[in-house]
Amino acid sequence: MSSDRSGKPSVPALVHDSEQEETEQMSRTRLTLAALATAALAGCAREAPVEPAPVVGAARADVRDAGGRLLANASAEQAGDRVRVRIEAAGLAPGSYGAHIHAVGRCDAPGFDSAGPHWNPTLRQHGTQNPQGAHLGDLPNLLVGANGQGSFEISLPASLAGGAAPLLDGDGATLVIHASADDYRTDPSGNSGARIGCGVFG
Ligand SMILES: [Cu+2]
């Protein structure tokens, strides 16, 4: 392929570009026509049909202690190209707790070692304040107030299902809560202590 001085491919690429543009223009036109047809149909109906939001997946996890007592509810939802994770305390004493997505969907009490390490498909170290971090499964600490309430929501650049490294891969995933706060920098677990609660995403 020939190149101009800037190093960019010249003639063949231009031909290709214009062909591509034509194709894109045609599909844009088709989309516009389809949208107009839909709008026209909607206008005729007594009630305009509401286009349902695409269901792309959601998972939940009940985080329980070794005795089976509920500590928190967690959810993970695909929203565009991100996964939105929510956690809400439901039976934790006031305090700050490390919370992570762990790589294996299995919660064997009492130690929950079966949940494996943090979910880390990008092979980083632990912690958002670690220059080599962070794990994709690293989450903010769950802060529980005097009234027992606490929650957070975070959006991760990840896939719930499908793609190269989905959250719900063959061996699943868990939400683990630790005894202490995560310092956001110490590999591999932020000095967050024992695993006191675990819930399998499903
Ligand atoms: Cu953890």
Give the three-state DSSP class for 99. Answer: strand
Q: Which residue has tokens 């995403």? A: 201
Q: Where are the domains of the chain?
A: 7-51, 58-200
Q: Residue 44: its pLDDT value, please?
A: 45
Q: What is the pTM of this model?
A: 0.73
Amino acid at 177: I
pLDDT by residue, tens only, the chain of 202 residues: 444 444 444 444 334 444 444 444 444 444 444 444 444 444 444 566 665 435 468 999 999 999 999 999 999 999 888 999 999 999 999 999 999 999 999 999 999 999 999 999 999 999 999 999 999 999 999 999 999 999 999 999 999 998 888 999 999 999 999 999 999 999 999 999 999 999 999 9
Q: How many CB atoms lie within 10 A of CB 153?
A: 12
Q: Residue 97: its pLDDT value, please?
A: 98
Residue 16 bears catalytic tag = no
Q: Residue 28: its pLDDT value, please?
A: 46
Q: How far is the centre of ligand 1, averaged over its atoms, from the C-alpha of 174 (Å)?
A: 9
What is the rounded (10 degree) CA torsion for 79, 80, 83, 84?
-40
Phi/psi class of residue 187: alpha, beta or left (left: φ > 0; alpha: ψ in -120 to 50)?
Answer: beta
Q: Which of 60, 178, 185, 187 is catalytic?
A: 178
Alpha-carbon span 174 to 183, nearest angstrom: 21
Partnered with residue 47 across adjacent β-strands are none
Q: How far is the centre of ligand 1, averaged over its atoms, from the C-alpha of 49 (Å)?
A: 45
Q: Which of 100, 171, 182, 187 is catalytic?
A: 100
Partnered with residue 152 across adjacent β-strands are 87
Q: Residue 163: its pLDDT value, please?
A: 86
Q: How many CB atoms lie within 10 A of CB 148?
A: 12
Residue 102 bears catalytic tag = yes
Partnered with residue 70 across adjacent β-strands are 64
Q: How far is the centre of ligand 1, averaged over its atoms, from the C-alpha of 178 (Å)?
A: 6
Q: Residue 57: its pLDDT value, please?
A: 87
Q: Residue 11: its pLDDT value, please?
A: 40
Q: Give the DSSP letter of residue 190.
A: T
Q: How far is the centre of ligand 1, averaged over its atoms, from the C-alpha of 163 (Å)?
A: 24
One of 3.30.1540.20, 2.60.40.200, 3.90.1300.10, 3.30.470.10 is the CATH number of 58-200, namely 2.60.40.200
